[in-house]
A = this chain, B = another copy of it.
Amino acid sequence: MLIVMDKKATAEEVQRVVDIIESKGFTARPIPGGDRVSIGILNNEGPVDPALFIGLSGVKDAIPVTRPYKLVSRETKPNDTLIEVGNVIIGNGHLTLIGGPCAIESEAQAMTIAERVKEAGGHIFRGGAYKPRTSPYTFQGMGLAGLKILAKVRDTFDMPVVTEVMDTETFDRVEEYADIVQIGTRNMQNFSLLKRAGQCRRPIMLKRGMSATLDEWLMAAEYIMAGGNPNVILCERGVRTFVRHSRNTLDLSVVPVVQKESHLPIIVDPSHAAGKRDQVIPLSRASVAVGAHGLMVEVHHEPQNALSDGAQSLYPEQFTRLCRDVRRVHDMLKDG
């Protein structure tokens, strides 16, 4: 933390800031500048709250210098985290392809799509049993019945499954059936859920909040790691902007930044970013080209009859083509 004083700050005002810093047990180091004084704060463990200083008379600004996260930081753990789920490895050097419908609608639907995902070379099957829906009047998911269908998909096709958990009440149940437990965009800062996820024995896929900064997202992962679960997969899915030609704006620069700041794997969900089928394939190629460790894509054999998000679901043959394309991009990158 660097405290920047007003040009006209008095010696008393400077001293008051120094006193507050030292009253917290930190070290204050005033830096007389050309036309104003700044005061560095040293020997603090973890970040200092700027609120201690902003608003004090004579203080112009309080600028954080260090990052607030610890366990997720590459400065703490330089090596990439690799996460094993069944015989799938997620993380640096691997390209994990996840496909499936937005929601599990029936056993027949799930099995039909899973077969096509498997054939296309998909590694993991996705499908929602508990669905966060903007409207209380639309399909809310099959619940436990959906989870059982997911288990059947896993057993039949030997593919791990990922599904979303919406609350702590149903967490045990989801944890029992899922290979990877997903925390959705709207729950990225549901801290009670994050704490429960910290005690989960399954890897957590943590989607980025709709308007989450990098720090907020990594701090949400920090909650999970601080709770004892080291296996967090980050998933970029687009952020909300003024743009209207896509549902959200996919933020691909976050991929190399996360990989620099953190050791955790990061995948991309182009389906929710796009909101429209015909943007999904190009954005998938871009995501792999930027260096993401995998993709999560919505696939449906009859999207026009899907109970949710049909407009952004690929046809199975499109998913097949996508898998082929992105594997080629990934191979090319590996060759260097």
A residues touching B (Cβ–Cβ < 8 Å)?
A: 2, 4, 6-8, 20, 29, 31-34, 36, 38, 40, 42-47, 49-56, 61, 63, 65-66, 68, 70, 75, 132-138, 166-169, 186-187, 189-193, 195, 209-211, 213-216, 219, 222-223, 226-227, 239-246, 249-257, 260, 273-274, 276-279, 282-283, 285-291, 303-304, 306, 308-312, 325, 328-329, 332-333
In the assembled complex, the Cα of A50 lies from the Cα of B306 at a distance in Å of 12
Is the Cβ of B253 less than 8 Å from the Cβ of A279? yes
Known: A31-B40, A240-B211. A20 touches B304 (CB 8 A): yes
Given contacts A33-B40, A136-B226, 5 further A-B contacts (CB under 8 A): A34-B44, A49-B308, A51-B309, A132-B191, A239-B243
Is the Cβ of B273 less than 8 Å from the Cβ of A283? no
12 CB contacts below 8 A, A to B, read: A2-B2, A2-B38, A34-B44, A54-B276, A55-B278, A55-B310, A136-B191, A136-B223, A213-B245, A249-B249, A285-B289, A328-B332
Is the Cβ of A249 less than 8 Å from the Cβ of B256? no
Chain B residues with CB below 8 A from A56, complex form: 304
Chain B residues with CB below 8 A from A138, complex form: 49
Is the Cβ of B304 less than 8 Å from the Cβ of A279? no
Chain B residues with CB below 8 A from A193, complex form: 167
Known: A47-B135, A68-B135. A167 touches B166 (CB 8 A): no
**Number of copies of this chain that the complex holds:** 4
Q: Which residue of B lies closest to A52 (CB)?
A: B304
In the assembled complex, the Cα of A119 lies from the Cα of B133 at a distance in Å of 44
Is the Cβ of A34 less than 8 Å from the Cβ of B42? yes
Chain B residues with CB below 8 A from A274, complex form: 253
Is the Cβ of B260 less than 8 Å from the Cβ of A278? yes
Chain B residues with CB below 8 A from A46, complex form: 135, 137
In the assembled complex, the Cα of A167 lies from the Cα of B250 at a distance in Å of 30
Chain B residues with CB below 8 A from A273, complex form: 253
- Shortest CB–CB separation between residue A98 and chain B, in angstroms? 19
Q: Which residue of B lies closest to A40 (CB)?
A: B31
Is the Cβ of A277 less than 8 Å from the Cβ of B2? no
Q: Which residue of B lies closest to A307 (CB)?
A: B49
